[in-house]
Amino acid sequence: MKIDLTVNGQAASGEVEARTLLVDFLREQLRLTGTHVGCDTSQCGACVVMVDGKSVKSCTMLAAMAGGCDVTTIEGLANGAELHPMQQAFMDNHGLQCGFCTPGMVMSGLDIVNRHGRELDAATVRRELNGNICRCTGYQNIVKSIREGARAMGD
Amino acid sequence: MREQGIGASVRRKEDQRFLLGKGRYTGDINVAGQTHAYFLRSPHAHAVIEGIDASAAAAAPGVVAVLTGDDLAADGIGPLICGVTVTSDDGEPHRAPPHPALAQGKVNYVGDHVAIVIAETLTQAQDAAELVDVKYRPLPAVSSTGEAAGEGQQQIHDVAPNNVCFNWPFGDKAANDEAFASAHRISSIELTNNRMVTNPMEPRAALGEYNSGTEEITLHMTTQNPHVHRLVLAAFNQLAPEHKLRVVGPDVGGGFGAKIFVYAEELVVGWACRKVNRPVKWTGDRSEAFMADAHGRDHVSRAEMALDENGRFLAMRVQTTANLGAYLSTFSTMVPSYLYAFLLAGQYATPLIYSEVKAVFTNTAPVDASRGAGRPEATYLLERLVDVCAADMDLDPAEIRRRNFIPKDAFPYQTPVVQCYDSGDYEAALDQAMELADYAGFAARAEEAKSRGKLRGIGFSSYVEACGIAPSAAVGQLGGGVGLWESAQVRFNPTGNVQVFTGTHSHGQGHETTFAQLVCDQLGVPFENIEVIHGDTARTQFGMGTYGSRSLAVGGVAIAKACDKLIAKGRKIAAHAMEAAEGDIEFADGNYTVAGTDKSMNIAEVAFTAYVPHNYPEGVEPGFDENAFFDPMNFSFPAGTHICEVEVDPDTGEVEIADYTAVDDFGKLVNPMIVEGQVHGGIVHGIGQALLEGCRYDSEGQLVTASFMDYAMPRADNAPDFRIGYAPTDPPHNPLGVKGCGEAGAIGAPPAVINAIANAIGARHVEMPATPETVWRACQSAA
């Protein structure tokens, strides 16, 4: 079936099977490979994207369900080479190591800001990151990055 | 200190591409005409294959080929090898059963590779795999580490009677027995070291391309050591001659050991792309990682310590059974032997240590190195035993450690287990950790917790590890088939910027930044003008890769040596250009200066002169490009003390890490920000092992914990912020004065956590993972 949607502010369309997952559509058809696949049970959160302003694990959504939606991926955050404040905070606070979970962490960070505002305590961020797994960082610097990124988003 | 040189917390060069979503991992790479591969795996832990009928699958829509072990054997590919020999107590080498990359007549674990299905799309390959008719005759399975070598167990391999790979005694048993016979007291412990699934966040993947014109295979894959992969695939697996095989490890999403090894999938993809003459892409999913990545740990041990009346350690003896899984993975044999028994001295001056390691086969995934590899197992056993000794002798856990530490004036210190520690100051780390953790205030905190119905406990772990792997001669003496030096090439381009080629591989460690800092510091070239290149056998010289916290301690020194050569060559060029004697040229901060004058030439100008040698010293080669190799003289020995405080809810058995302090000796820090990140990650890895992670097979060899829903990975709310300190000493064997830091946390943390839980609930021991159920049961029996 054919789907039409908006991805990172631009019109996109594609021919998908009924079983095609949104993450596979983004990666394989649109070649937006910044969104990653780290598991097959919707646990790791490496594939988190924004769909109509809400964070979604793009492995839990069929591409067909995204028809007509407004999707933002990690590729849609920066202004050219100028990083979004949340991305910049990850760089400034060493919030990433291998980079594989990072796109999902950044998108989840933005979702936490959307739901909890820009003054975040560490416990809230740690609790809200329950759906994102990182093996490298031990999370401390991710938490720090999200808190600082949240504050910087108001500047 | 230069602003971006050694010692500066420079932001990472890697981050921009990862944050923009512009990383390039193997699964992100697509090439024209590529096909997709799916591996058909055994659902049985142990079975004879009586036949495979792939005709229906081969005829399914989009299928390009279905290939089995017979096809692989006909082409003479494989088998997979183990590269380290351990001599068993009968004088024979360890038993090495055949390890075909695709099963030949038998499968030996759930997830064992049976066939590769190649199709135009991945879904077509998956659909077709369901049509492959494999006739299995199931056999009884062996899955228990402790029971594998017992009477009446099913035999897995003909070459390994009683499922034993090796029996390996080490040390002076008679002297040890004598010390035990005259001891004031003997303390003992029995414990398991729980099996872990390494789980880097990027699952393994491979993309093979064959060029029939050049007869070259290019294999993009998730690797920590591209040249080692190429060497083994060429020399032992007959995939292609080394010069006709290119292995590329592009961005790699974490390794922790799991991407060191030569696995079936990458070999089969490399072979299949030539067979079907089309690019073949395989992207493993998490279920495959759980089934078929090499796992870690999995020991069952008993340890005893002989003590004198003052709590001093007289002798230690250890019996360990180590599970190696169904086949021998690439470096599996060395993990429970040389990387384990040689670390059993820990930080203590125990004069006698005797160990017996029995390595066994089971119908489970192969077991090999995983973050720390052998050293976490040794440290956990020893540091738990030390706490039991403290309890038996009624000594404070810090005090018994202090009494037995190797004193700081005893270095270099020859342990009774081969290793000669080159530097350390264990009391300094202990003191600093106790101060950071406010040990003096613990009793009050425990009292306050009690008022809330919580049991608060404190646990110490004083670890030492051997990393910076490794002096080649030592590796050779121990039966290793490789040298473990490292290589570097530092190349100025004519315009003055620098490319650094390293034989190590970065998959999260930040080498592109740390190594650029080294070069910036040494050559005085601006940080932004330095690019570090790794991970492609066609671009970098032969190198041994990244594991065993070796990249800076070994690879970094190779880079420094190449820089030394450039500086020396540049001195001749600068002397000639400035019409001075070579002996009068001083080099500092990127400039060659004629001593006592203001005549000076920047190294970038010297580089340009070397490439445009119109006015040039006689006998000096043009070009400004040097390579170097470094073979370390000794391992490096990071050490430290970690202190963990937990709060246990006795009603639920739930454990909260209330506080955690780590004070480590990593020698000189190049980028403190990166080092601290490595420590954080290692500690949480260790907390995962202590509290959450436990890979389980049932009695029939079925993998029970096969997804992130069944196998608990540490998440953001499983740990607090950490208190981090450093107590550095200067390692005399390392020219840069550095040690390794990548594994320390995973080594130090598990005993610190379990010692804290045991302290909280007043139990002698609690097994890992200390899940609420385990802890609740321990609370009941302690009460």
Q: A140: which chain B residues are within 8 Å (Cβ-Cβ)?
A: 680, 719, 721-722
Residues B135 and B147 in one domain: no
Give the range of the structural domain holding residue B449, as residue numbers without chain letter: 420-467+635-783
Handedness of CA B666, B668, B669, B670 (dihedral sign): negative
Only one residue has tokens 């398991």, namely B192
Integer Cα distance of B360 and B343 in angstroms: 21
Residues A71 and A16 in one domain: yes
Contact A136 B508 (CB under 8 A): yes
Chain B: closest CA distance from residue A137 (Å): 4
Mean pLDDT of B726-749: 97
Residues B498 and B512 in one domain: yes
Q: What is the CA radius of gyration of chain B?
A: 27
Residues B277 and B317 in one domain: no
Say if residue B782's pLDDT is above 90: no
Helix and strand totals (H; E) in chain A: 5, 5
Query: In chain A, which residue's Cα lies nearest the Cα of B16?
Result: A91
Order of strands, edge to edge, in the sheet holding B205-211? B63-68, B113-119, B35-41, B280-283, B205-211, B216-221, B245-248
Contact B681 A135 (CB under 8 A): yes
Contact B202 A75 (CB under 8 A): no
Total domain count for chain A?
Answer: 2
Predicted confidence band of residue B2 (pLDDT cuts 50, 70, 90): confident
* DSSP β-bridge partners for residue B358: B167, B321
Nearest to B341 by CA among B358, B326, B328: B358
Enter the pTM of the model: 0.98
Contact B510 A17 (CB under 8 A): no
Residues A91 and A125 in one domain: yes
CATH code, A124: 1.10.150.120
CATH code, B724: 3.30.365.10
Q: Is residue A56 part of a domain?
A: yes
Q: Could you tell me which residues come within 8 angstroms of residue B163 by beta carbon, excluding any fewer than 6 positions away?
A: B142, B148, B149, B153, B155, B156, B157, B360, B361, B362
Q: Indicate the residue among A49, A75, A101 that finishes a domain.
A: A75
Q: Is residue B578 part of a domain?
A: yes
Residue from the list B283, B677, B708 with its beta carbon closest to the beta carbon of A97? B677
Mean pLDDT of B187-209: 98
Q: Indicate the residue among A41, A75, A109 that finishes a domain.
A: A75
Q: Is residue A134 part of a domain?
A: yes
Contact B22 A34 (CB under 8 A): yes
Residue from the list A39, A103, A122 with its beta carbon closest to the beta carbon of B708? A39
Order of strands, edge to edge, in the sheet holding B106-107? B106-107, B47-53, B133-138
Integer Cα distance of B772 and B774 in angstroms: 6
Residues B549 and B429 in one domain: no
Chain A: closest CA distance from residue B10 (Å): 9
Mean pLDDT of chain B: 97
Say if residue B324's pLDDT is above 70: yes
Cβ proximity of B645 and B437 under 8 Å: yes
Q: Indicate the residue among A52, A75, A98 that finishes a domain.
A: A75
DSSP-based helix, strand, coil % in chain B, nearest 5: 30, 25, 45
Residues B279 and B301 in one domain: no
Task: Tell me the one-letter amino acid at B694.
Answer: G
Burial of B372 (0-12, 13-18, 19+ CB in 10 A): buried
Residues A71 and A90 in one domain: no
Handedness of CA A91, B203, B702, B340 (dihedral sign): negative
Mean pLDDT of chain A: 97
Say if residue B586's pLDDT is above 70: yes
Residues B81 and B221 in one domain: yes
For strand B106-107 and strand A70-72, is the pairing parallel, antiparallel, or unpaired?
unpaired
Residue, of B470 and B400, whose pLDDT is higher: B400
Q: Tell me the C-alpha to C-alpha distance, in Å, between residue B583 and each of B573, B615, B624.
A: 12, 19, 20
pLDDT per position as a tens digit, B521-538: 999 999 999 999 999 999
Mean pLDDT of A116-138: 98
Q: Which of B201, B713, B715, B722 to mutate to test the interface with A (most CBs of A within 10 A)?
A: B201
Q: Is residue B559 part of a domain?
A: yes
Q: In chain A, how long is the greatest CA-to-CA distance?
A: 45
Chain A: closest CA distance from residue B687 (Å): 10
For strand B639-649 and strand B455-464, is the pairing parallel, antiparallel, or unpaired?
antiparallel
Nearest to B196 by CA among B144, B254, B149, B256: B256
Integer Cα distance of B383 and B735 in angstroms: 31
Q: B287: which chain A residues are within 8 Å (Cβ-Cβ)?
A: 40
CB pairs under 8 A between A and B: 182
Residues A17 and A65 in one domain: yes
Residue from the list A92, A125, A136 with its beta carbon closest to the beta carbon of B11? A92
Q: Which of B715, B724, B741, B743 to mutate to test the interface with A (most CBs of A within 10 A)?
A: B715
Q: Is A72 helix (H, G, I), strand (E, B) or coil?
A: strand
Contact B684 A99 (CB under 8 A): no
Chain B: closest CA distance from residue A4 (Å): 23
Only one residue has tokens 């050049």, namely B214
Q: B745: which chain A residues are within 8 Å (Cβ-Cβ)?
A: 138
Contact A32 B716 (CB under 8 A): no
Say if residue A155's pLDDT is above 80: no
Residue from the list B17, B715, B721 with its beta carbon closest to the beta carbon of A133? B715
Q: B709: which chain A residues are within 8 Å (Cβ-Cβ)?
A: 41, 43
Residue from the list B30, B201, B682 with its beta carbon closest to the beta carbon of A133? B201
Note the pLDDT of residue B765: 97
Is the minimum CB–CB distance between B32 and chain A shorter than 8 Å?
A: no
Q: Is residue A80 part of a domain?
A: no
Note the pLDDT of residue B606: 98
Total domain count for chain B?
Answer: 4
Note the pLDDT of residue A151: 98
Q: Is A50 helix (H, G, I), strand (E, B) or coil?
A: strand
Q: Indicate the residue among B630, B660, B695 that finishes a domain.
A: B630
Which of residues 247 through 276 in chain B touch A, CB cutoff 8 A? 251-254, 256
Residues A58 and A98 in one domain: no
Integer Cα distance of B418 and B434 in angstroms: 31
Mean pLDDT of B718-731: 97
Q: Is residue A50 part of a domain?
A: yes
Note the pLDDT of residue B477: 87
Contact A91 B15 (CB under 8 A): yes
Burial of A14 (0-12, 13-18, 19+ CB in 10 A): middle
Residues A95 and A128 in one domain: yes
Which of residues 51 through 90 in chain A touch B, CB cutoff 8 A? 73-75, 78, 81, 83, 87, 90
Cβ proximity of B315 and B324 under 8 Å: no
Residues A65 and A102 in one domain: no
Integer Cα distance of B712 and B689 in angstroms: 10
Residues A54 and A103 in one domain: no
Residues A52 and A105 in one domain: no
Q: Is residue B579 part of a domain?
A: yes
Residues B582 and B724 in one domain: no
Q: Is residue B733 part of a domain?
A: yes
Is the minimum CB–CB distance between B210 and chain A shorter than 8 Å?
A: no
Q: B679: which chain A residues are within 8 Å (Cβ-Cβ)?
A: 138
Predicted confidence band of residue A60 (pLDDT cuts 50, 70, 90): very high
Q: Is residue A63 part of a domain?
A: yes
Q: B30: which chain A residues are within 8 Å (Cβ-Cβ)?
A: 28, 31
pLDDT per position as a tens digit, B659-705: 999 999 999 999 999 999 999 999 999 999 999 999 999 999 999 99
Q: Is residue B450 part of a domain?
A: yes
Residues B89 and B133 in one domain: yes
Q: Could you tell me which residues come within 8 angstroms of residue B589 by beta carbon, excluding any fewer than 6 positions away?
A: B2, B524
Q: B509: which chain A residues are within 8 Å (Cβ-Cβ)?
A: 97
Residues A12 and A71 in one domain: yes
Helix B603-611 and helix B557-577, axial crossing angle in degrees, nearest 10: 80
Task: Tell me the one-letter amino acid at B80.
Answer: L
Residue from the list A41, A94, A125 with its beta carbon closest to the beta carbon of B708? A41
Task: Tell me the one-letter amino acid at B308.
Answer: D
Q: Is residue B357 part of a domain?
A: yes
Residues B696 and B767 in one domain: yes
Q: Is residue A123 part of a domain?
A: yes
CATH code, A15: 3.10.20.30
Q: Indicate the residue among B580, B597, B630 that finishes a domain.
A: B630
Is the minimum CB–CB distance between B15 and chain A shorter than 8 Å?
A: yes
Residues B661 and B532 in one domain: no
Integer Cα distance of B334 and B733 in angstroms: 24
Note the pLDDT of residue A154: 82
Note the pLDDT of residue B482: 85
Contact B27 A39 (CB under 8 A): no
Q: Is residue B622 part of a domain?
A: yes
If you write DSSP's letter for every residue of B521-538 in order, what string do you get?
Answer: HHH---GGGEEEE-SBTT
Which of residues 106 through 145 in chain A touch B, CB cutoff 8 A? 106, 122-123, 125-127, 129-130, 132-143
Cβ proximity of B427 and B630 under 8 Å: no
Residues B274 and B334 in one domain: no
ipTM: 0.98
Residues B711 and B735 in one domain: yes
Residues A104 and A148 in one domain: yes
pLDDT per position as a tens digit, B453-492: 999 999 999 999 999 998 999 888 888 888 899 999 999 9
Contact B202 A90 (CB under 8 A): no
Contact B21 A32 (CB under 8 A): yes
Nearest to A75 by CA among B662, B18, B731, B325: B18
Contact A83 B16 (CB under 8 A): yes
List phi, psi (to 5°) of B349. Answer: -90, 40
Q: Indicate the residue among B272, B292, B312 that finishes a domain.
A: B292
A 10 A CB-CB count for B680 gives: 26
Give the range of the structural domain holding residue A14, as residue numbers without chain letter: 2-75
Contact B722 A17 (CB under 8 A): no
Q: Is residue B389 part of a domain?
A: yes
The conformational region for residue B468 under phi > 0 = left, psi -120 to 50 = alpha, else beta, is left
Say if residue B1's pLDDT is above 70: no
CATH code, B87: 3.90.1170.50
Cβ proximity of B365 and B296 under 8 Å: no
Residues A66 and A101 in one domain: no
How many residues can be counted in chain A? 155
